[in-house]
Homo-oligomer: A and B are copies of this chain.
Amino acid sequence: MREIGVGLLGLGVVGSEVAHVLLDRSARLSEQVGASVTLKKALVRDLSKQRPYAFPAGLLTTNPDDIFNDPSISIVIELVGGEQPALDYMRRAISGNKHVVTANKEVIAKNGYRLLSLATEHQVDLRYEASVCSGIPVLSPLQQDLAANEIQAIHAIVNGTTNFILTKMAKEDLPYGDALRQAQDLGYAEPDPTNDVEGIDAAYKLAILASLAFHTPVRPSDVYREGISGLDPKDFTYAHELGYAVKLLAIARQRGAALETRVHPALTPLDNQLATVDGVFNAVQIDGDLVGTLVFYGRGAGGGPTSSTVVADVLTIARNIAMGGIIRPRMELNRRIPVMPMADIETRYYFRLSVMDQPGVLAQIGRVLGEHRVSISAVIQKELDPVAQTAQVVILTHPSREQSVQSAVGELAALPLINRVCALIRVEH
């Protein structure tokens, strides 16, 4: 049986799991491929570090050349993470005519198109299914199974850390800080949680999803971003009363000749599949003009799910090598669709105001919104604070332009009868 050598860059949580699966299941995997898929070397920074599995002597190396210069290695798995040196490693592997499998969303979101061009030039494959929602197959279905569709919209929960925090806030009425600490204690959030809670990680994933879905280059910097750190558990309660859950959504939607791409907290109807996605789970909802609504749900992080997908990508490449198939990595970005400025988007809005408990306040709010052509779909007045003589007013609007809503809310904040705009959250279908 022909041997197909594999080199692994990075032996952290995910890397160790991938190495273990490749070694432990090698007979069955090789049988599936019709060639012997053999893990030859794994690059680490520290040879003496304790690892979850006892790997064979000689597998580990601290010298990248042991992988890049080994002609028996034809597939390189990059699991170093972050932008550098991961990007350089991938370039080097591809330039040496080695196929690459990666789970690196940052590198793919920022450099995917160029890397794929380089791969095409070198007639090697570059697969990155695990870069978006790790265990959930979504990039391959999007490119293959939905190829006949015009994609209309993507609504997705692509970050497990924030979804865990939001679920805690919703179900246990916890303030953001407490929920974040629980996520950190459980290892779901980093000591510095910025990447997750500010939506940076989600924007990487959305850039990849949107590029593939709409066949146009979408950079992470094209994605409007708003994080979850300003959310108040009160709004989860009011939202629930109105029939909504609060989720951090990654949204890409074709609107006429432009594309909306945005990551922000959103009210999601409770009967929508995304509203039922709790804890660290992820889900990607795709609307295609032929297929209608599809949802892909599963674990978006962790050693098991990520290794499932990374090894599947390795097997696909190995099968192609074994069958002598010609490989043409594809990211068909043959359209140029401009991203719509955030001010121009149109959606529904939820906002909560702390107001003085005096006559005429609702009339004033109504007047300001009317002047900005923001029309109200529901109002709740709540919780008179008898000492401060303030009340909470919650407003849900009909579809309105972002710019109008922002101007109206700015004007409301300046009214003497209004103490504070406590929350402004978009409402997505």
Using Cβ atoms and an 8 Å threshold, which residues of chain B touch A136? Answer: 294
B residues near A334, Cβ cutoff 8 Å: 31
Q: Which residues of B contact A288 (CB under 8 A)?
A: 308
Instruction: With A290-B21, A304-B291 as known contacts, state yes or no: A145 contacts B140, CB within 8 Å.
Output: yes
Inter-chain CA distance A136–B144, complex, in Å, is: 12
Q: Which of B148, B304, B316 has a CB less than 8 Å from the CB of A144?
A: B316
Check B316–A146 contact: CB distance below 8 A: no
Q: Which of A322-330, A378-386, A387-395 contacts B (4 or more CB under 8 A)?
A: A322-330
Cβ-defined contact, B32 with A291, below 8 A: no
- A147 within 8 Å of B (CB atoms): yes
* B residues in contact with A304, CB < 8 Å: 289-292
Q: Is A377 an interface residue (CB 8 A)?
A: no
Contact A305 B290 (CB under 8 A): yes
A-side interface residues, number (CB < 8 Å): 51
A298 B295 Cβ-Cβ under 8 A: yes
Contacts of A312 in B (CB 8 A): 144-148
Would you call B323 and A324 a contact (CB within 8 A)? no
Residue numbers in B under 8 Å from A328 (CB-CB): 323
Asked if A135 lies at the interface with its beta carbon under 8 angstroms from chain B, I say: yes
Check A294–B297 contact: CB distance below 8 A. Answer: yes
Q: Does A2 contact B (CB under 8 A)?
A: no
Point out the residues of chain B lying under 8 angstroms from A292, CB to CB.
135, 298-299, 304-305
> Is A361's beta carbon under 8 Å from chain B?
no
- Whether A223 sits at the interface, judged by CB under 8 Å, is no
Q: Residues of B contacting A145 with CB < 8 Å?
A: 129, 137, 140, 308-309, 312
Residues of B within 8 A of A148 (CB): 21, 25, 29, 307-308, 311-312, 315
* CB-CB nearest in chain B for A285: B297
- Give the contacts of A255-294 with B (CB-CB under 8 A): 271, 273, 276, 278, 288-294
Q: Does A299 lie within 8 Å of B307, measured CB to CB?
A: no
State whether B332 touches A146 (Cβ < 8 A). Answer: no
Q: How far is the CA of A135 from the CA of B295 in the complex (A)?
A: 11
B-side contacts of A308, CB under 8 Å: 145-146, 148-149, 288, 290-291
Q: Does A296 contact B (CB under 8 A)?
A: yes
Interface pair B297/A273, CB less than 8 Å apart: yes
Cβ–Cβ contact A298 & B291, under 8 A? yes
How far does the alpha carbon of A294 sit from the alpha carbon of B289 in the complex, in Å? 24
- In whole angstroms, what is the CA distance A149 to B323 when docked? 22
Verify if A52 is at the interface (C-beta below 8 Å from B).
Answer: no
Type the 1/0 row for A306-344, where 1 means its CB is closer than 8 Å to any CB of B.
Answer: 011101100110001001111010001010000000000
A residues near B (Cβ < 8 Å) are 17, 21, 25, 29, 31-32, 129, 135-137, 140-141, 144-149, 271, 273, 276, 278, 288-299, 304-305, 307-309, 311-312, 315-316, 320, 323-326, 328, 332, 334
Can you spell out 8 A-B residue pairs with CB atoms less than 8 angstroms apart?
A29-B147, A135-B291, A135-B294, A140-B145, A148-B315, A276-B276, A291-B309, A295-B296
Given contacts A140-B145, A144-B312, A323-B326, 10 further A-B contacts (CB under 8 A): A135-B294, A144-B316, A148-B311, A148-B312, A271-B276, A276-B276, A293-B299, A295-B295, A296-B297, A324-B326
